[in-house]
Structures are given as C-alpha cells and as structure tokens.
Chains A and B, each alone.
Chain A
Amino acid sequence: MPMPGSIVSRTKRSVSLAMAALLTMAAGDASQGRAIVMNRQLSACLLCHAGPFPDPNLQGNLAPSLAGVGSRMTSEELRLRLTTPPPDSIMPSYSTTTGRRQIGLRWEGKPILTPQQIEDVVAFLTTLKTP
C-alpha cells in the first residue's frame, strides 16, 4: 500500500522508537499472544478482525482478516500497527494512554495492553503464515 511521504518519515521514527522499547523487555511469547488475541474482553481484536480461530460467526468484518498476516508484515510493522495506527484508522493504539476522551474510570491512565502483552501478540501474529 503506497503511503504519503509524511507518514513514511513518521513511520520510520516510530519504528525505531518501538524497536528501542523491545530491547527493554522479554521477547514475546506466541502462545500467550494467541490467548490475548482470542480474549475479546481484553484485546477486542476479534470484534473487528476475523482470523484462524474457532467460532468464525463471532468474529468481526470491520478489518482485514489476520490470517496470513505474518507473511504480509514484519514484526516491526506489526508492532507499529499495534502502537501507532494511522490517525484515520478505527483501530485504537494499544500502547497509548493519551489523546483519548472520556475514558471509563476502570481504564483511565492505562494502555489497552501492556508492552509485554503487545510483544506477545506480535510474536503470535508473525506465526500466522499464508499456507
């Protein structure tokens, strides 16, 4: 997908920031990541996305399927997608605690996922290869 120049340069900076963050914690655990993606109360992924999971009738179609996403995207791109989605996307940032309004008291000040959970999800998504 072609991207406008401004987004590309912003993307590069965010990639290096995201990679720097990775160095500070344990590598992701793909089986934990699978559980996080499938837990809709926690991650909400399957509200919007479908993928290679049980109960396809309970998966959303607001977004591309996650099937094969590990063949389409590198782990750096996946990490960036979770932390810094394009501003016009309906996909929320999973790492931010700012720039949102009227957050429910239970969630105030918290990112949707912790940095470690994001690494776990990234590790899992990279295993979703096209058959």
Chain B
Amino acid sequence: MKPVLLLLALLTAAAAPRSGYDDASPETRAMQDDDDANPGFLWVREGEAQWSKPAGPDGKSCASCHHDATISMRGVAARYPLIDTVSEQPMTLDQRIAQCREERQRADPLPPESEAALGLSAYVGLQSRGMPLHVRADSPFVAAGRRLFETRLGQLNLSCAQCHDERAGMKLGGATIPQGHPNGYPEYRLEWQAMGSLYRRLRDCMTGVRAEPFAPESLQAAELALYLAVRAEGLKVETPAVRP
C-alpha cells in the first residue's frame, strides 16, 4: 500500500464509531448476546403481540397495513431518523410509530415509555438488528443537531461533545463514558432495571448536567437524535441492546 493510502486507512480506522457494547462489561455483553437472557426480549414479545392487535374505530392493527413485520420492517430502524416528506421535519422512528397509531390507526396514543410503546419500537428495531445505521447526512437539521451536541448546557456547563467526543473511554464517577451512540435503542439499562427509549437516555444526560431537557416532541430532540445517527454511521443496529 502507498504511504498516503495507508495513512488514510489508519485515519478511517481511528474514526470508526465504537458501540457502547464495546465499553460494557463481559457480563453485560453476554446478556445482550443471548436472546433468552436479554431482558429486552420481554418487551419485544409484548411488541410482537401489539403488532397484530386491533385498535381504533376501524379495528386496524399495524399488521393490517404492514403485514409481516419481519419483511416489511426489515432495515427500517437503520434509516431513521429521516426527514419526513410531508412535514419536512426530522422524524424519529418512535415519532413515526406514534404518528401511525394516531393518524392511520386513529387509536389513543400509547403513553411514552409504556411497555406497549417500547415494545413496538423494540420489535420494529429488532427487524434491523445487525444492519448498519445509514441516514441522510446532508440536511440543515443535521448541522443544527451537531450545534446542539457541541453547546455547553446546564448548571454544570458541559456539552455532549465534551464527554462523548473528547472524553469517551474515561471515567465519570464510576461510569465509563461511551461514545454515546443510539444504535441499541430502545435498550435495557441495568441502571433503570427496565427498557427505555433514546429520549429517556438523552433526558438523563441533560439532567445529569443540570439542564432543562428538551421536550420529547421538540424539534431539538429530533435534531439531536438525527445527528447522533449520522455520527454513528455504519454502526450495526443492536436493538434491544443491554447497557450498564
């Protein structure tokens, strides 16, 4: 290999994103690797049941429109968030599922972080497990998300980037700082003793620096999620991941 090419290859290798999986303990990784031991699968099973459960005035289920999720939902989670063609705004997978539920199924919204909402999101996410994240990186919303990621927030005055770009691998109190990638969500956190959405994680990080978190449906939350996905380009979807 020519020296220049070698250098390029090394630089690219150094810049490759590192999943939170690689920072987790061997026990936590083993739990994720075994579907029978992974507590996230309790939620996945709930979501699988939810998929074909009729709701709303017309008694439609997700399956009424999307049929077999193992076919129709394959690869979907790997390309979210995307820019919705109707609203021209960034939209997360959880927001899309909520939109289908309210506008197409015309059913009551599933409460955020409920077993039914997390279950559906996990069941849909599972259909992309092992596929590389790839979202469009060329919208102004990505740039806006990056600015948010690099802005110091809260009483402790820290940005996401100061921890996750500049200090990943170091110790914050007893915790190893991961690069902060969204590829495992919804995921089971031992700290929560439960499954939780990416939004729940962002809220924890924001209140951790004593900032007022962006509201779940805010444009900022979606921009941040979009930038996180661009930043994690190529990382494999691990839903439902297990983390400390």
Q: Which residues of A contact B (CB under 8 A)?
A: 40, 44, 46-48, 55, 57-62, 90, 92-93, 100-107, 110, 112
| Interface mask (B44-75 → A, CB under 8 Å = 1, otherwise 0) | 00000000000000000000000000000000
From B158, B167, B170, B210, A103 is in contact (CB under 8 Å) with: B210
A104 x B210 contact (CB < 8 A) = yes
Give every chain A residue within 8 A of B162 (Cβ-Cβ): 90
Q: How far does the alpha carbon of A90 sit from the alpha carbon of B211 in the complex, in Å?
A: 15
Give every chain A residue within 8 A of B155 (Cβ-Cβ): 92, 100, 103-104, 107, 110, 112
From B157, B174, B207, A104 is in contact (CB under 8 Å) with: B207
Given A62-B167, A90-B158, A102-B154, decide whether A47 and B211 contact each other with a Cβ distance below 8 A: no
Give every chain A residue within 8 A of B158 (Cβ-Cβ): 90, 92
Given A102-B212, A103-B211, A104-B207, decide whether A112 and B156 contact each other with a Cβ distance below 8 A: yes
Q: Which residues of B contact A (CB under 8 A)?
A: 151-158, 162, 167, 170-174, 207, 210-213
Give every chain B residue within 8 A of A62 (Cβ-Cβ): 167, 170-172
A59 x B154 contact (CB < 8 A) = no
Give every chain A residue within 8 A of B171 (Cβ-Cβ): 59-62
Task: Summarize B's interface: helix, strand, loop or mixed.
Answer: loop
A103 x B174 contact (CB < 8 A) = no
B212 x A92 contact (CB < 8 A) = no
Q: How far does the alpha carbon of A22 sit from the alpha carbon of B172 in the complex, in Å?
A: 31
Distance in angstroms from A40 CB to nearest chain B CB is 6
Give every chain B residue within 8 A of A59 (Cβ-Cβ): 171, 173-174
B170 x A92 contact (CB < 8 A) = no
Q: How far does the alpha carbon of A96 sit from the alpha carbon of B196 in the complex, in Å?
A: 34
Q: Output the nearest chain B residue to A47 by Cβ-Cβ distance.
A: B173
Distance in angstroms from B146 CB to nearest chain A CB is 16
Could you show 11 A-B contacts with beta carbons less than 8 Å apart?
A: A46-B173, A47-B172, A58-B173, A58-B174, A59-B171, A62-B167, A62-B171, A62-B172, A92-B157, A103-B210, A103-B212
A100 x B152 contact (CB < 8 A) = yes
Distance in angstroms from B91 CB to nearest chain A CB is 23
Give every chain B residue within 8 A of A93 (Cβ-Cβ): 157
Q: How far does the alpha carbon of A110 sit from the alpha carbon of B174 in the complex, in Å?
A: 27
Give every chain B residue within 8 A of A55 (Cβ-Cβ): 174
Return the 5 tightest CB-CB contacts between A and B, nearest first: A58-B174, A107-B155, A92-B157, A61-B171, A47-B173
Give every chain B residue within 8 A of A90 (Cβ-Cβ): 158, 162
Q: Output the nearest chain B residue to A89 by Cβ-Cβ distance.
A: B157
From B170, B174, B210, A107 is in contact (CB under 8 Å) with: B210
Give every chain A residue within 8 A of B152 (Cβ-Cβ): 100-101
